[in-house]
Amino acid sequence: MTTQEPLRVLVSRQARDKLAADIARVLDTRPHALLTPDDPRAIDADVAFVSRDITGLSTKHQVLPATQQVYDLLRAAPRLRWVHIHSAGADRPVYVELRQRGVQVTTSSGANAPVVAQTALLGLLALARQWPRLMVAQRERRWAPLIATGLPRDLQGQTAVIVGWGPVGQEIGRLLGALGLNVVVVRRQAGTSGPSGLRTIATAQLPEVLPDADWLVLACPLTQETRGLVDARLLSLLPAHAGLVNVARGEVVDEQALIAALQQHRLGGACLDVFATEPLAADSALWDLPNVIVTPHSAGFSDGNEARVAGMFLDNLARWTAGQPLQNVVPRSPA
């Protein structure tokens, strides 16, 4: 009779304290050990769960020491075979490196889709209803009814072009459709599997629809195809009244070209939750532009996300132990 070797799972202290019983239930009789980053045995982890508290306030471009400690462990762990991460995107360099060496990386795509979509809708509505202008007037204690400064355009009947049709893009499309907007879906390939009742085009066709777009909404992953997708040429195709909403990744947009278009009033406005470099530099022109809403990569934050992400990890853990395919696997080749 052989003794099964314990499954070594790297988790944060917070995740260990909250999920120990659930992990034990999923693993049933399989022996296991929950290892925290400060445990000397963590280097021998077989699988890892990168929860939100591990990332903390770190960004892709500015990694704080506590987060770096975990990233270093992941890179150095020779037995590591699978990592589940709290985010929907896996474009941080550490995850790219892990995939290149054959480690499976799974995401929590869909966990925060409703929240991100609500944030995108909020930004679009704020721009459409000229909320930035009204907020300035409020701070100045100035009565400035919109009838005196230019009436907002009716949203119903406007056209929103949504780039990306994953869980976030689909929820944005549903919400905008409910408000009476015409939705155009942009996918890698138009194909025949587009959403029913909506016009679906391939990414290569994006220039064809922009001249008639009132809104360009970015909800796509960062890939080789989408990096720098919205450049000066594409921005020039949008009508001067159009607005841009980006809840995808900052690198999808040529930020300097966007700033120029906004400053020169060749674009009506922008709501940006993501940026080419994060945190956004204090001297960026985006902070002070009157037709721009800046939020600190917070579109997906909600108090319910932790439980949803944990549920996805536990479901994949059950699949892992049963030898079944994992959900939300990121392709091995780098994005």
**CATH classification of the domain holding 121:** 3.40.50.720
Does residue 297 have an active-site annotation?
yes
Residue 50 domain-assigned? yes
Please say if 249 is a catalytic residue. Answer: yes
Per the structure, the complete domain to which residue 190 belongs is given by 113-294
Q: Are residues 99 and 132 in the same domain?
A: no
Residue 150 to residue 54: CA distance in whole angstroms? 47
Number of domains in the chain: 2
Q: Output the pLDDT for position 2.
A: 46
What 314-317 contacts at long range (C-beta under 8 Å, 24+ apart), as own/partner pairs, is 314/19, 314/22, 314/23, 314/26, 316/82, 316/84, 316/106, 317/9, 317/23, 317/26, 317/27, 317/47, 317/84
132 with 14, same domain: the answer is no
- 43 and 189 share one domain: no
Q: Domain for residue 156, yes or no?
A: yes
201 and 102 within one domain: no
pLDDT number for residue 333: 56
Strand ranges across the sheet with 269-272:
199-202, 182-187, 159-163, 215-218, 243-246, 269-272, 292-294
Same domain, 146 and 267: yes
Active-site residue, selected from the candidate residues 92, 187, 249, 255: 249
Of 258, 234, 112, 254, nearest in space to 172 by CA: 112
In this prediction the pTM is: 0.94
User: What are the DSSP E strand ranges found in the chain?
Assistant: 7-10, 32-35, 47-50, 82-85, 104-106, 159-163, 182-187, 199-202, 215-218, 243-246, 269-272, 292-294
My answer on whether 143 and 79 are in the same domain is no
Residue 208 designated active-site: no
Query: Are 241 and 220 spatial neighbours (Cβ–Cβ below 8 Å)?
Result: no
Catalytic residue from among 97, 225, 278, 306: 278
Q: Would residue 173 count as lying in a domain?
A: yes
Whole-angstrom CA distances from 302 to 10, 113, 274, 305 are 24, 11, 17, 6
Tell me what pLDDT residue 1 has: 34
The answer to whether residues 82 and 121 belong to one domain is no
Instruction: Give CA–CA dist 97/159, Å, rounded.
Output: 39
Structure tokens at 138: 């409020």
Q: Is residue 327 part of a domain?
A: no
**313 in any annotated domain:** yes
Query: Is 64 part of a structural domain of the chain?
Result: yes
**138 lies in the same domain as 65:** no
Can you give the pLDDT of all 335 residues of the chain as single tens digits? 345 789 999 999 999 999 999 999 999 999 999 999 999 999 999 999 999 999 999 999 999 999 999 999 999 999 999 999 999 999 999 999 999 999 999 999 999 999 999 999 999 999 999 999 999 999 999 999 998 778 999 999 999 999 999 999 999 999 999 999 999 999 987 754 567 789 999 999 999 999 999 999 999 999 999 999 999 999 999 999 999 999 999 999 999 999 999 999 999 999 999 999 999 999 999 999 999 999 999 999 999 999 999 999 999 999 999 999 999 999 875 44
